[in-house]
A and B are shown apart, each in its own frame.
Chain A
Amino acid sequence: DIQMTQSPSSLSASVGDRVTITCRASQSIDNHLNWYQQIPGTAPKLLIYAASALQSGVPSRFSGSGSGTDFTLTISSLQPEDFATYYCQQSYNSPRTFGRGTTVDVK
């Protein structure tokens, strides 16, 4: 199975901050990497697919980059509604595996 390692596991930030979350795959997954946001008590929401494509309706302050094994999710200017947990997920092969998540909370 492909292991997905996210860092950091948590971070504290303020509104307006630039936030970067990284995800590393245990083998090359080309660009088959997706990012999700989950607010407690709700279902995850797709933010980015194919490493850098913004899902329809997602604000442009979210962006993704990377290919191969190393990927990044960036929030250019953190907004109050962005305090949540973020997961990366590979769809290169089965089983579809997720990172353990990065929780962004208030500094």
Chain B
Amino acid sequence: QVQLVQSGAEVKKSGASVKVSCKASGYTFTTYGISWVRQAPGQGLEWMGWISAYNGNTNYAQNLQGRVTMTRDTSTRTVYMELRSLGSDDTAVYFCVREGQTGTTVYFQYWGQGTLVTVSS
């Protein structure tokens, strides 16, 4: 079965960086893209960006351009999301999500368990 297992919770100081990992199993890794979605405490869902597991192409949300980098390692079937220059408003649960596609419709089919990143001053 498809599984996405994320790294553990992180506590970071303002201005620091965080790198969250997402290890995939149960499917052909390079066939599907991975998105990252975050959720601040008590808030809704925010799409952060996408990476192709096939060739590493990326597409980032404009408000995070320059602060976020998504990479993948096909040998370990792992995707990484690094966020730099952290501020208090980056405190959130970060989810990796494997896409599914039917026809031209793409959807977030499988979700990791989430990684809580807490930014303190």
Q: Which residues of A contact B (CB under 8 A)?
A: 31-32, 34, 36, 43-46, 49-50, 53, 55, 87, 89, 91, 94-101
Residue pair B109, A87 in contact (C-beta under 8 Å): no
Interface residues of A, dominant DSSP: loop
- CA–CA, A45 and B111, complex, Å: 8
Known: A43-B113, A50-B102. A89 touches B44 (CB 8 A): no
A32 to B101 alpha-carbon distance, docked (Å):
11
Tell me if B95 counts as interface (CB < 8 A to partner A).
Answer: yes
Contact with A along B40-64 (1 / 0, CB 8 A): 0000111100100000000101100
Residues of A within 8 A of B100 (CB): 46, 49
Nearest-neighbour CB distance to chain B for A97, whole angstroms, equals 7
Q: Known contacts being A95-B62, A98-B44, A98-B46, is A49 close to B111, with CB within 8 Å?
A: no
Top 7 A-B residue pairs of the complex, sorted by shortest distance between their CB atoms:
A43-B111, A49-B107, A50-B105, A96-B47, A34-B107, A91-B106, A98-B45
Give Cα A49 to B106, complex, Å. 8
CB distance from B51 to the nearest CB of A (A): 13
Q: How far is the CB of A92 from chain B (nearest CB, A)?
A: 9
B113, chain A: closest CB distance, angstroms? 6
Q: B35 to A46, Cβ gap below 8 A? A: no
Q: Given A95-B47, A98-B45, does the pair A50, B108 have CB atoms closer than 8 Å?
A: no
Contact residues in B for A32 (Cβ distance below 8 Å)? 104-106
Q: Which residues in A have their C-beta under 8 angstroms from that of B109?
A: 46, 49, 55
23 contacts between A and B (CB under 8 A): A31-B105, A32-B105, A43-B95, A43-B111, A43-B112, A43-B113, A44-B45, A44-B108, A49-B105, A50-B103, A50-B107, A87-B45, A89-B45, A91-B105, A91-B106, A94-B50, A96-B47, A97-B47, A98-B45, A98-B46, A100-B44, A101-B44, A101-B45
